[in-house]
Amino acid sequence: MKVDLHTHTNASDGALTPEALVGLARESGVTLLSVTDHDTAAGCLRAQKAAKEAGIAFIPGVELSVRWGGTVLHVVGLGIDPEDPVVVERFRETARLRAERGVKMGEAFERIGLAGAYEGALARADSPQTLSRTHFAAWLLETGVVKNQQQAFDRYLREGGPAYVEAPWPSLEEGVRFLLDRGALPVLAHPGRYRLRPGWEADAMVDAFVAAGGRGIEVTSGSQSEEANVRYAQVARDRKLLASTGSDWHSDRSPRPRPGCQPPLPADLTPVWTLFGYA
Ligand code: AMP
Ligand code: MN
Ligand code: MN
Ligand code: MN
């Protein structure tokens, strides 16, 4: 079984439509897939239909942005119901916040002498409501302001960077509670990717996630280092967390592995998908 429980479509900041993402996953040999767009499940129904036609098992998902102290964390919710009216209404509100932030980011770029950022980012997004920092990065890259996507984040878009605008995301506790209340399984996304000091600060993050009701953790992720994969395999063992894995694929603009091509989970861990009835 080749599993990828963390991918993006153009319902958020991925480059491909849900159908095209499923097509790429099939080409890559994925047999169990989840689509986990940022703060929306809007691509899941189309992806689910395409996955069924392609003979790929599918778990609907979402990647929630939450605040933990001064850090933005991502929590994947596996098994979210994209048609649940409470889910739909909440993500509609988050989309409104995203649209507002996009305008403010455009203004921040203008203040540092980069005009046309908002229009440029919007031209690369599906709608103002899905505008992500990734779309601004694509504009910076394609207009030659930066040489690669990493430079776009390092110079402009990183937390605290000159074009960064804080978004009013929910707290870690409230986000995890929301997922549990809607019957979804909260999984801490790419734990090795946050700017936290290894050791106590990273431990405190896992403590807070578990205390909030978190159940799973991404042990191997296409968006964290091999060293982090090893470290969080041990965290999953020590804390008896369910282990998840995902490429976090968005587009070929980033050097991340293609769907399903992130390193596999160590065999001794309990995979999160056993809870969804997959062996
Ligand atoms: P947003 O949710 O709009 O604040 O955008 C966050 C998104 O930016 C993340 O989901 C990643 O896809 C992307 N991102 C953040 N940091 C980096 C980075 N250093 N390199 C590439 N993409 C990044
Ligand atoms: Mn993203
Ligand atoms: Mn993420
Ligand atoms: Mn992601």
Distance 253 CA to ligand 4 centre (A): 14
Check: pTM over 0.95? Answer yes or no. Answer: yes
Contact 79, 61 (CB under 8 A): yes
pLDDT for position 199:
85
Which residues make Cβ contacts (< 8 Å) with residue 57, sequence separation at least 6?
31, 32, 33, 51, 278
| Structure confidence by residue, pLDDT tens digits, 233-271 | 999 999 999 999 999 999 998 889 999 999 999 999 999
Query: How do beta strands 216-221 and 242-246 pair?
Result: parallel
Query: How do beta strands 185-188 and 71-78 pair?
Result: antiparallel
Distance 134 CA to ligand 1 centre (A): 6
Sign of the C-alpha dihedral computed for residues 119, 124, 130 and 133 taken in this order:
negative
Residue in 122, 147, 153, 190 to alter for ligand 1 test, most ligand atoms within 8 A of Cβ: 153
pLDDT for position 254:
86
Residue in 101, 134, 224, 253 to alter for ligand 1 test, most ligand atoms within 8 A of Cβ: 134
Predicted confidence band of residue 198 (pLDDT cuts 50, 70, 90): confident
| Structure confidence by residue, pLDDT tens digits, 48-80 | 999 999 999 999 999 999 999 999 999 999 999
High-pLDDT (> 90) share of the chain, %: 97
pLDDT for position 43:
98
What average pLDDT does the chain have? 97
Residue in 36, 133, 159 to alter for ligand 1 test, most ligand atoms within 8 A of Cβ: 133
Q: List, as ranges, residues with CB under 5 A of the ion ligand 3.
A: 74, 189
